[in-house]
Amino acid sequence: MLSVLSNRTYRRLFLAQAIALIGTGLATVALGLLAYELAGKDAGAVLGTALAIKMLAYVVVAPVAAAFAYRLPRRTMLVALDLVRAAVAVSLPFVTEIWQIYVLIFCLQSASAAFTPTFQATIPDVLPDERDYTRALSLSRLAYDMESIVSPMLAAALLTVVGFHALFAGTVVGFLASAALVVSVALPTPKSAERRGIYDRTTRGARIYLATPRLRGLLALTLAVAAASAMVIVNTVVIVQAGLGLGQSQTALALGAYGAGSMAAALSLPKALDRMPDRPVMLLGATLLAIALALGPVVQSFGALLALWLALGVGTSVTQTPGGRLLRRSAHAEDRPAVFAAQFALSHACWLLTYPVAGWVGARAGMSVAFLALAGVAAAAVVATFILWPKAEDDAVEHAHPGLDPDHPHLREAPAAGHTHVHTHPIVIDRLHPQWPDAGRS
């Protein structure tokens, strides 16, 4: 898996991602402490509102940013967004009012909503070979898991010698280091072959996404991931401390088990995906999530909880990691930023749905009901995937272009037979294929 780091450009981009994620993790810890300093016992409400603002920024800003991204070289855009995030992080220690937290969080997450899909869409252009790209996806998953483990540990160590406001300095350093690494490499910037209006560019990613069966299946699978991760993120502290009567260290250990499961799966996925198609692997992961959530109500000990969280971490990584491969093969290079932005926005809409379910149902009806409700969501997502992403769908689809001239370049690239111009080739939604074709029809 580490062989892809021999690519100089990707190596520096990966380091930029990892360092920025650690900085973001430090900011997450510091933000919770800042909210407690300003709001006391109401800190949970403050953080809940901040999380809602974050998701709103992700859902709304990502597709709009992608629509304007073509105006700037990718490197210029990524560096500028890192600098914006660093500027916001510099401001956070000086916050004195709760509303200021909300404004700064919106600015920070809006910049991240523009940065992340642009960054993700760059990697398949840097690593065009699918085997290399698969390994890059596993490394990226590993970076996210390391952030969830390393950042809290680093924050705990730093808090023994400095106040929590100093953690924001680590966030600033992370974003500046990311900017420096990005600016040190040349990045490809595919140019769109046709001029489009703002509305078309804003909605293009979602239209391609929702017209592609495998991506509709990916969205359903993302909902299963959101159900599992929402249960872990929202309710771990309640289960461990209120339910089992344990302390903060056990809470951290439980979260670490979830991250460890995800990391273990990410390390083993490249070899599995070399031998197996994406669809059965991802369905296996989502099925594991549904089963594990359904077993939640029978967990009565901390050891059983660790095993359950480990299984949820494995299922999350197995389901989520191959998604980048689907996005890569479902769009032309010039449309990839829009499609990655659509995935970014739609996936966070899933979390916007499951976070309240995990929190409100758990608080009002109890953890057993919350487990079963989210297990139902995950199971429904698995069923939806079978419907939305049929097994019979293949990269090469027979279809027709009866309106095209026989000398059209597209028909020369994939020769047709007969007067209806029926031919077979891998389908990507574009101007010539605005809808996914039925066999033998345009």
Rg over CA atoms, the chain? 23
Q: Judge if 275 and 177 occupy the same domain.
A: no
- Kindly state whether residues 154 and 242 are assigned to the same domain: no
User: Residue 309 carries which side chain, given as an amino acid letter?
Assistant: W
Number of domains into which the chain is organized? 2
pLDDT tens-digit profile of 115-130?
A: 887 887 788 888 888 7
Residue 351 domain-assigned? Answer: yes
Are 301 and 228 found together in one domain? yes
Q: Are residues 239 and 159 in the same domain?
A: no
Same domain as 295, residue 177: no
In a domain, 12, yes or no: yes
Q: Mean per-residue pLDDT for 54-68?
A: 77
Say whether pLDDT at 11 is over 80. Answer: yes
82 and 155 in a single domain? The answer is yes
Q: Using alpha carbons, list the distances in angstroms from residue 336 to 13, 14, 208, 340.
A: 18, 19, 10, 6
- Chain mean pLDDT for the chain: 81
Res. 441: pLDDT tops 50: no
- Cα 161 from Cα 155, distance rounded (Å): 10
**Residue ending a domain, choose from 188, 205, 229:** 188
pLDDT of residue 442: 39
Q: Is residue 378 part of a domain?
A: yes
Domain stops at, among 145, 172, 188: 188
* Domain-ending residue, one of 188, 205, 228: 188
Q: Which residues contact 94 (CB under 8 A, 6 or more apart)?
A: none
Claim: this prediction has a pTM higher than 0.85: no
Are both 236 and 303 inside the same structural domain? Answer: yes
Q: How many CA atoms lie within 13 A of 341 on its CB side?
A: 30
| Whether 303 and 157 share a structural domain | no
Q: Are 411 and 404 in contact (CB under 8 A)?
A: yes
- Would residue 67 count as lying in a domain? yes
CATH code of the domain containing 8? 1.20.1250.20
Q: Are residues 219 and 154 part of one domain?
A: no
Query: Are both 159 and 238 inside the same structural domain?
Result: no
* Cα–Cα distance measured from residue 155 to residue 162, given in angstroms and rounded to the nearest whole number: 10
pLDDT (tens digit, 9 = 90+) per residue, 90-99? 998 888 888 8
Asked whether residue 68 is domain-assigned, the answer is yes
Higher pLDDT, 376 or 101: 376
With respect to residue 206, please indicate whether it lies within any of the assigned structural domains: no
Question: In this structure, is residue 76 part of a structural domain?
Answer: yes
Percent of the chain with pLDDT over 90: 24
Whether residue 330 is contained in a domain is answered as yes
Identity of residue 181: L
Q: Do 229 and 130 have their domain in common?
A: no
Domain that holds residue 233: 215-389
For residues 148 and 267, membership in a common domain is answered with no
